[in-house]
A and B are shown apart, each in its own frame.
Chain A
Amino acid sequence: MREVGAVIARLLILIARFWQLVPSRILPPSCRYAPSCSAYAIEALRRYGALKGSWLALRRILRCHPWGGHGYDPVP
Chain B
Amino acid sequence: MKKDDQKNFVIFAVLAALILFGWPQIAHWFFPQQQPAPVRIEGGKTKPVANPGADPTADSPKALRDRQLVIAETPRVAIETPKLRGSINLKGARFDDLVLVQYAETVAKNSPPIRLLSPSGAKGNYFAEFGWQGAGVQAPGPDTIWQASGTKLTPTTPVTLSAQSATGQVFRIELSVDANYMFNVRQTVANLGTSPVSVTPYALVSRAEKSTDVDQWAAHVGPIAVAQGGANYVNYKDVDAGPQGFSTTGGWVGYTDHYWLTAVVPDQRMPVQLQQRQTPTKSYQADYQLASPLSVAPGKKITYSSHFFAGAKEVKLLEDYQDKLGIAKFDRAIDWGWFGIIEQPIFYYLDWLFRMVGNFGVAIILLTITIRGLLFPIAQRQFASMAKMRAVQPKMKALQERHKDDKTRQQQEIMKLYKEEKVNPLAGCLPILLQIPIMFALYKVLLLTIEMRHQPFVAWIRDLSAPDPLLVLNLFGLLNFTPPSFLAIGVVPILLGISMFFQFKLNPAPMDDMQKQIFSIMPWMLMFLMAPFAVGLQVYWITSNVLTMAQQWLLYQQHPALKEPVKKEAKAK
Contacts and interface: CB of A to CB of B under 8 A. Distances in A.
Contacts, number: 72
A64 B12 CA distance: 26
Contact of B11 (A21, A27, A70): A21
Interface string B363-406: 00000000000000010011000100100000000000000000
Interface in B499-538: 507-508, 515, 518-519, 522
B430 interface: yes
A29 B426 contact: yes
27 contacts: A26-B519, A26-B522, A28-B508, A29-B386, A29-B389, A30-B431, A30-B432, A31-B426, A31-B429, A32-B428, A32-B429, A34-B412, A36-B429, A61-B429, A61-B433, A62-B430, A64-B429, A64-B430, A65-B430, A65-B431, A66-B381, A68-B428, A68-B430, A70-B415, A70-B428, A72-B411, A72-B412
A37 interface: yes
B411 A65 contact: no
Interface string B431-442: 111000000000
Nearest to B511: A29
Given A28-B382, A66-B428, 14 more contacts: A21-B8, A22-B12, A25-B12, A26-B518, A26-B522, A29-B389, A32-B425, A32-B429, A34-B412, A34-B415, A61-B429, A62-B430, A65-B427, A66-B378
Contact of B427 (A30, A34, A62): A30
Contacts of A34: 411-412, 414-415
B15 interface: yes
Nearest to B433: A61
Interface in B1-45: 8, 11-12, 15
Contacts of A32: 425-429
Contacts of A65: 427-431
A34 B410 CA distance: 10
A52 B8 CA distance: 28
The 10 closest A-B pairs by CB, nearest first: A34-B411, A70-B425, A64-B428, A65-B430, A32-B425, A64-B429, A37-B429, A65-B428, A32-B428, A71-B415
A27 B526 CA distance: 13
Given A21-B8, A34-B411, A34-B412, A27 B15 contact: no
Given A35-B411, A72-B411, A30 B12 contact: no
Contact size range, A = 20 to 34
A26 B412 CA distance: 25
A64 B386 CA distance: 16
B217 to A, nearest CB: 17
Interface of B: 8, 11-12, 15, 378, 381-382, 386, 389, 408, 411-412, 414-415, 418, 425-433, 507-508, 515, 518-519, 522
Nearest to B436: A23
Contacts of A74: 408
Contacts of B11: 21
A46 to B, nearest CB: 16
Contact of B431 (A21, A36, A66, A72): A66
A30 B411 contact: no
A9 B412 CA distance: 28
Given A34-B412, A35-B411, A28 B386 contact: yes
Nearest to B19: A22
B427 A66 contact: yes
Nearest to A26: B522
A18 B508 CA distance: 23
A74 B386 CA distance: 23
Contacts of A26: 518-519, 522
Interface in A20-76: 21-22, 25-32, 34-37, 61-62, 64-66, 68, 70-72, 74
